[in-house]
């Protein structure tokens, strides 16, 4: 949230168990960021429901558990990281320069990212019919994905807000720009 404030973005913060999906709809958000949190996606309040019900019409950006919520919402299984807990560790992250263009625009490839997670979307059950992998680690773990049809539903497993992700602020700014572009295209009827 600090990066969003530094970038001059207007935002409101709510706990995922503080609101109903109907209350979120009435707020008419321009974009939704599903932030990291403890636990597993099924313990994340309205996060899964938000992805499924609001995702088709509102840009959603999931961070860490937010990406796991996107994966689980579309049929993926969330498992423990095979190599063990990744708390405060950096990894090179590679991205598809075509598929990852919107949120990774202007980043090095690979770039260094902070990982603070013990769970990940399982590769064997990754819902390839609904989602596409846009970034990964050297050992093939999913680090970012987006929806194939609703490309404005996207997320990252790592933490762009961490000092260990030197180019992370660009990712947040790119999502904000994506929200503006999505809004413009929607209002023009494209």
Going by C-alpha positions, the residue among 158, 184, 139 that lies closest to residue 68 is 158
Domain of residue 77 covers 2-187
pLDDT by residue (tens digit) across 77-128? Answer: 999 988 878 888 899 999 998 876 779 999 999 999 999 989 999 989 999 9
Average pLDDT estimate for 23-31: 95
SS3 at position 148 = coil
Beta strands in 77-118 (DSSP E): 78-80, 86-95, 111-117
Containing H/E element for 53?
A: helix 47-54
Active-site annotation holder among 18, 117, 159, 183:
159
Active-site annotation holder among 124, 132, 161, 180:
161
Q: Is 69 a catalytic residue?
A: no
Is the pLDDT confidence value at 154 over 60? yes
Active-site annotation holder among 6, 18, 64, 117:
64
Question: In the 3-class helix/strand/coil scheme, how is 4-30 assigned residue by residue?
Answer: HHHCCCCCCCCCCCCCCHHHHHHHCCC
| Buried-state track 110-128, b at ≥16 Cβ within 10 A, e below 16 | bbebbbbbebbbbbeebbe
Is the pLDDT confidence value at 174 over 80? yes
Is the pLDDT confidence value at 12 over 70? yes
Whichever domain contains 140, its CATH number is 3.40.50.880
| Buried-state track 24-33, b at ≥16 Cβ within 10 A, e below 16 | beeeebebbb
* Cα distances (Å, whole numbers) of residue 162 to 51, 99, 115, 135, 172: 24, 24, 9, 18, 12
Is the pLDDT confidence value at 190 over 60? no
pTM: 0.92
Domain count, the chain: 1
Q: Is 159 a catalytic residue?
A: yes
């Amino acid at each position: 949230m600090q990066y969003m404030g530094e970038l001059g973005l207007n935002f409101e913060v709510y706990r995922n168990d503080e609101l109903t999906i109907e209350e979120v709809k009435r707020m008419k958000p321009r974009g939704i960021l599903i932030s990291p949190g403890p636990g597993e996606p099924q313990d994340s309040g309205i996060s899964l429901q938000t992805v499924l019900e609001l995702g088709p019409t509102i840009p959603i950006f999931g961070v860490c558990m937010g990406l796991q919520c996107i994966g689980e919402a579309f049929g993926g299984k969330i498992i423990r990281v095979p190599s063990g807990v990744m708390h405060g560790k950096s990894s090179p992250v590679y991205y598809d320069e075509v598929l990852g263009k919107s949120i990774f625009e202007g980043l090095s490839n690979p770039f260094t990212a902070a990982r603070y997670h013990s769970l990940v979307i399982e590769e064997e059950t990754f819902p390839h019919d609904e989602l596409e992998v846009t970034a990964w680690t050297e050992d093939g773990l999913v680090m970012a994905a987006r929806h194939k049809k609703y490309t404005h539903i996207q997320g990252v497993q790592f933490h762009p807000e961490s000092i260990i992700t030197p180019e992370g602020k660009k990712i947040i700014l790119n999502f904000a720009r994506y929200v503006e572009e999505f809004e413009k295209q929607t209002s023009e009827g494209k």
